[in-house]
Amino acid sequence: MPSTSTLLLGAEAVAFGALDAGIVGAFSYAGTPATEVFETVQAEGGVWAVWSANEKVAYEEALGVSYTGRRALVSMKHVGLNVAADPFMSSALTGANGGLVLVVADDPGMHSSQNEQDSRFYADFARIPCFEPANQQQCYDMTREAFGFSEAHRIPVMVRLVTRVAHSRANVVRVPPEDRGPGEPNPSRPDPNDWTLVPANARRRYRHLLDIQRDLQDELEASPANRYLASGRRGILSAGIATNYVREALAGRSGDTTLHIGAYPLPVRLIREFVDRCNEILVVEEGFPFIETRLLGLLGVPGKTVRGKLDGSLPMDGELLPEAVFRALGIPLEATPTDPMVAGRPPQFCKGCPHGSSFGALVDATAPYPDALIFGDIGCYALGIMPPYRAIHACVDMGASIGLAHGASRAGAHPVLCTIGDSTFAHSGMPALLDVVHSNANVTVLILDNGTTAMTGAQDSHATGEVLLQMLRGLGVTDLTVFDPLPKHHADSVRLIREAIERPGPSVLVAKRACVRIKLGTRATPLPQSGT
């Protein structure tokens, strides 16, 4: 294949980087802004790419591929790594065999997420290397490089994206796939004891992980991902996409010393050289003040002024905007019109959405119980929080609704209900329901089975239809009611929910009706206001 130039999203560029690096499989659970990484691999075909039940499972599947000596890509949104944190942290000790690259897409500004996180802390926490692309070409290049790096050092490698990189397009030059050929296993086989983390092995492996830190740092210190340009006494240290904002602000101006960081562990020697040269330093990074806090330590840098998020020169929360960078650099920015082209509208269910009629029934069914608590979950049905329903009292993280309801019922609240979608139930609702059944808690669980993972673009659901019912019976649910939430069945739906509330012990209702977006044959696209 000759080199080709294609207009790609950052997320797509990562996928092509992985394909050209010769992965045999990609693993993921959907989540904005990471979804397109996996979808691109899946659309290209030729390698294993089936959605996993959740991020933890996806990570373990990819690690299993790596142990065979082959290359695997695993991708997820930032909160997905909370779910996958257990295997992720321990995999730093076992190490990788075939290249293992974890792509995590952070969502500063929470365009479509329930919180802000900075995954660089996770890479640092696990002591694994991390690449942070500033643009789409680097998404491709760094992902390819990450596989080789992972194999050379036998360690998982993270590629950290942010929404603005994952979801914007630029031309990307792809180069011919690597000679090792897709599917060729890494020929050397490590000692399987390395992968068996009983305490004696784990201690040895942790020591090893600590011992290789210097090598990782030395190699990345020289990486072209980190670029230092010495000039004047004002220093600008930037990372990832923030470098583009700095370059935009500085366009045509020289006289500042700049250091761009795109690979971690941090290049300490370069940073020392940079700091020695400058009197005043501005740190510009997307996400948390990761580099800034390390630079300042507890007591600051004697004799130097360090500015950034911690002193308020740049905002601590939200997405970093070029305007803020211009301001922090003292460079005037021409005002751009801010009138929105389309008036803002509150998010709402699609017309004919089955969740709308389910919430209509839920609101009427619980009307006689002023103390009713209803715990929600994450999916299109989170819109049950909006008028006219205003039905949800809490929505925290995927799968939380059942555990929250269980806890509240243990505290004596009654009635306690929760709503959860079919995909979220498969993702992380099942163990919580097992607890409810195990302790015979008085909780009414409403599963909204629309046959798909609608919110993130209609990916397959692992727990829909007859499979869902079998799963529920297998979990020990005996009080199980299935109903069709069509508006014309409203009175029946209200009655069934009320009867379930009145029965002691756990009861599960399944509101079964397909998402209209898939029913009509159109691929559901994430609602612009949601899409988590």
Ligand X SMILES: Cc1ncc(C[n+]2csc(CCOP(=O)(O)OP(=O)(O)O)c2C)c(N)n1
The footprint of ligand SF4 (CB under 6 A) covers: 349-350, 353, 355, 380, 450, 454, 515-517, 524
Question: Nearer to ligand X by C-beta: 235 or 485?
Answer: 485
Residue type, 246: V
Q: How far apart are CA 496 and CA 480, in angstroms?
A: 11
Q: At residue 160, what is the residue type?
A: R
Q: Which two tokens stand for residue 519?
A: 């029913």
The nearest distance, CB 465 to ligand X, in angstroms, is 12
Q: Which is nearer to ligand SF4, 29 or 140 (CB)?
A: 29
Backbone angles phi, psi at 471, to 5 degrees: -60, -45
How far from 177 is each of 3, 101, 225, 326, CA to CA, in Å? Answer: 10, 17, 21, 40
Q: Which is nearer to ligand SF4, 372 or 380 (CB)?
A: 380
Q: What is the DSSP letter of 503?
A: S
Residue 206 is inside which H or E element, if any?
helix 199-211
Q: Is 45 left (phi over 0), alpha (psi -120 to 50) or beta?
A: left
Q: How far is the CB of 425 from ligand X (least distance, A)?
A: 7
CA pair distance 348, 63, nearest whole angstrom: 39
Q: Which tokens go with 123?
A: 């890479």
* Residue 30 contact among ligand SF4, ligand X, none, beta carbon within 5 to 8 Å by kind: ligand X
Phi, psi of 96 (to 5 degrees): -110, 165
Least distance to ligand X, CB of residue 329, Å: 35
Alpha helices of 367-507 — where are they, by DSSP H? 400-410, 422-424, 430-438, 465-474, 490-502
Burial class (CB in 10 A: 0-12, 13-18, 19+), 244: middle
Task: Out of 151, 422, 436, 513, point to the residue binding ligand X (CB under 6 A).
Answer: 422
Residue 74 binds which entry of ligand X, ligand SF4, none, CB below 5-8 Å type-dependent:
none
Give me the amino acid identity at 356. G
- The reply to whether 36 sits near ligand X by the rule CB under 6 A is no
Decide if residue 527 touches ligand X (CB under 6 A).
no
79 binds, among ligand X, ligand SF4, none (CB under 5 to 8 A by kind): ligand X
C-beta of 525: minimal distance to ligand SF4 in Å? 8
Using the rule CB under 6 A, give the single segment among 23-31, 144-152, 175-183, 209-217 that binds ligand X.
23-31
Q: Which stretch binds ligand X (CB under 6 A): 28-36, 244-252, 269-277, 402-410?
A: 28-36
The residue type at 358: S
Task: Check binding of 379 to ligand X (CB under 6 A).
Answer: yes
Query: Minimal distance in Å, beta carbon 516 to ligand X?
Result: 11
136, 186, 257, 423: residue in contact with ligand X (rule CB under 6 A) = 423
Restricted to residues 389-418, the positions that interact with ligand X (CB under 6 A) are 398
Q: Which does 442 bind (CB under 5 to 8 A by kind): ligand SF4, ligand X, none?
A: none
**Which listed option, ligand SF4, ligand X, none, makes contact with residue 516 (CB within 5 to 8 Å by class)?**
ligand SF4
Cα torsion 433, 394, 287, 531: sign:
positive
Task: Name which of ligand SF4, ligand X, none residue 8 binds, using a CB cut-off of 5 to 8 Å depending on partner kind.
Answer: none
Residue 144 corresponds to which tokens in the numbers above?
Answer: 């390819």
350 binds, among ligand X, ligand SF4, none (CB under 5 to 8 A by kind): ligand SF4
Tokens of 227: 């670029």
Per-residue tokens: 278: 């400058």
Determine the residue type at 450: N
Q: State yes or no: residue 29 binds ligand X (CB under 6 A).
A: yes
Kind and range of the H or E run holding 357: helix 354-366
Count other Cβ atoms within 10 Å, centred on residue 371: 9
- Of the pair 77, 307, the CB lying nearest ligand X is at 77
211 vs 41, 94, 153, CA distance in Å?
35, 14, 12
419 binds, among ligand SF4, ligand X, none (CB under 5 to 8 A by kind): none
Dist. CA 508–CA 479, nearest whole Å: 6
375 binds ligand X (CB under 6 A): no
Among 28, 52, 119, 450, binds ligand X (CB under 6 A): 450
Please say whether the beta carbons of 28 and 52 come within 8 A: yes
Binding mask 58-87 for ligand X (x = CB under 6 A): -------------------x-xx--x----
455 belongs to the binding site for ligand X (CB under 6 A): yes
> Should residue 453 be labelled a site residue for ligand X when binding is judged by CB under 6 A?
yes
**Residue 212 or 350 having the CB closest to ligand SF4:** 350
Asked if 506 interacts with ligand X (CB under 6 A), we say no
- Coil, strand or helix at 219: helix
- For residue 31, state whether it binds ligand X (rule: CB under 6 A): yes
Closer CB to ligand SF4, 296 or 447, in the complex: 447
CB 98 within 8 A of CB 25: no
Judged by the rule CB under 6 A, the positions of this chain that interact with ligand X are: 29-31, 77, 79-80, 83, 378-381, 398, 421-424, 450, 452-456, 461, 532
